[in-house]
Amino acid sequence: MKVLVIWPPHVPSYFNAGHHTPAFMTAGHLRRDPRVSRVDVVDAGVLNMNWKAVGDLLFQGDYQVVAVMNDFDAVDGLERFLTYVRELSPQSTVVTFGRLSSMNPGHFTRYDLDAIVQSGDYECGVAHVVSAVAEGGLAEALPGVAVRVGTEWLVPRQVGETLPAEEWTLPDVAEIPYAAHDRLYFNDDHKFCGIPFRRELVVPAARGCPVNCDFCEVPAIFGLRERRLSVDRVVEYIEQAYAQLPFEYVAFYAPTFTLDKRWVRELCERFIEGPVQPRWKCATTVHHLTEELVTLMGRAGCVRISVGLETLETDAQGTLPRAKHIEDDRFRTVARWCEQAGIELNAFVIVGLPGTTPAGVARTVATAREVGARVRPTMYTPYHAMSPALSTAEISRYNRQLIAEPGSGDPVEAERRAAWYAFMFGAERRLTTVYESVPLHPDHVPA
């Protein structure tokens, strides 16, 4: 059996290489099945593939299963992609998986799909579809997967399965288009998460998060209980990847990296001892940092810590989890720890959070810049407001850049929306210099 795992052509509204790792992890997981003879994995959006190339791939591939990755901002080309699949690879069973189908599975019943992964780990859902096809075809709903039989959609018979961390198949770095990632991270004015001029190795270290912010999809998809790789496996993966390609830093893909402080201390000690001593970055919360931990992370090669600052407006913090109620003095203290440890502090700020004002966001941003932090704004996105009835155009607004609700035309509202968008799309004059702390690999020539 041959399987294609693909993210269809689209123009990404935002790029985070960590969000793309599930395609490669799912492909690796499927290769464990002895009935699967070949798995191709293609990130067509990042590669800027044209439709002729996609058509060639489908027509020549002879795939029995096509697994289509979806996301909040990548459904625009899905219908066209499915038209190509049905026309050029009519034998294929088509399943979709990703963040959007896990949050709003009903939206996908309008498309010409055979199955929708809507709960559990992505690779488990896709593997169930592959197994069913190998055994004769889709005839009933599967764990975590809705299945179309004729014109009827059958709801999953049980919640989707999750894998313990030791069973994850980490991405094969030989399959990932790093040159394309380099280009997407090149201009820091876009405020993407990567470090410009340096090549990033993403290490998917953890899934799940107990902080449970309602504007974040992680708890809804992966649960409130964290699953985390062992330190041994993390170090082994980094060593193997660095031996294959000219990486210059590691990005730990974990919702709250310092949630398990004992694990972080063990990892830092391993980096300090060597032989692998990468520069690296991570994301966490202000609440889950201590001076001792930040100091140790700096000694162990950490160059950037991203924190969910969200807002310093106290009147608006009531809508946030307790761990995100951040006082001005506490944030300044963490910034001082980072400065002393030689770490860039990257502050995630939410624009349009209920209860906030443009003036309040401006004060939050000003405070962050005053203490030397890099600011990365995102638009408040009420995922709970999504419904299956939303059109493709409407669903694409839930991308953390646009205001989800269309404007009413009211002049006062229009002025407020323009103020929100000024934070998102206005010129950025304070660009990162953290790459200066990351040595350039002699075999890597930046684009």
One domain for residues 292 and 402: yes
Asked if 3 contacts 38 with a C-beta cutoff of 8 angstroms, the reply is yes
Expressed as residue numbers, the domain containing 280 is 177-437
232, 367: one domain: yes
Task: Please check whether residues 120 and 261 belong to one and the same domain.
Answer: no
Q: What's the rounded Cα separation, in Å, for the pair 14 and 381? A: 14
Tell me the pLDDT of the chain (447 aa) as tens digits.
Answer: 999 999 999 988 889 999 999 999 999 999 999 999 999 999 999 999 999 999 999 999 999 999 999 998 778 889 999 999 999 999 999 999 999 999 999 999 999 999 999 999 999 999 999 999 999 999 999 999 999 999 999 999 899 999 999 999 999 999 999 999 999 999 999 999 999 999 999 999 999 999 988 788 898 899 989 999 999 999 999 999 999 999 999 999 999 999 999 999 999 999 999 999 999 999 999 999 999 999 999 999 999 999 999 999 988 887 788 888 888 999 999 999 999 999 999 999 999 999 999 999 999 999 999 999 999 999 999 998 999 999 998 998 999 999 999 988 899 999 999 999 999 999 988 899 999 999 999 988 776
Q: Is the previous residue joined to 275 through a cis bond, with omega within 30 degrees of 0?
A: yes
Q: Order of strands, edge to edge, in the sheet holding 279-284?
A: 200-204, 249-253, 279-284, 302-310, 344-351, 374-379
Cα 380 to Cα 212, 228, 325, 331, distances in angstroms: 15, 28, 17, 21
Q: Are 26 and 86 in contact (CB under 8 A)?
A: no
Residue 250 lies in a domain: yes
Structure tokens at 99: 């963040």
Does some domain include residue 443?
no
Chain centroid, CA 132 distance in Å? 28
Q: For residue 229, what is the DSSP state?
A: -
Whether 145 and 201 share a structural domain: no
Give the CA count within 13 Å in the CB-facing half-sphere of 415. 4
424 plus 297 within the same structural domain = yes
Q: Do 312 and 187 reside in the same domain of the chain?
A: yes
On whether both 107 and 230 belong to a single domain, the answer is: no
**CATH number (domain holding residue 96):** 3.40.50.280
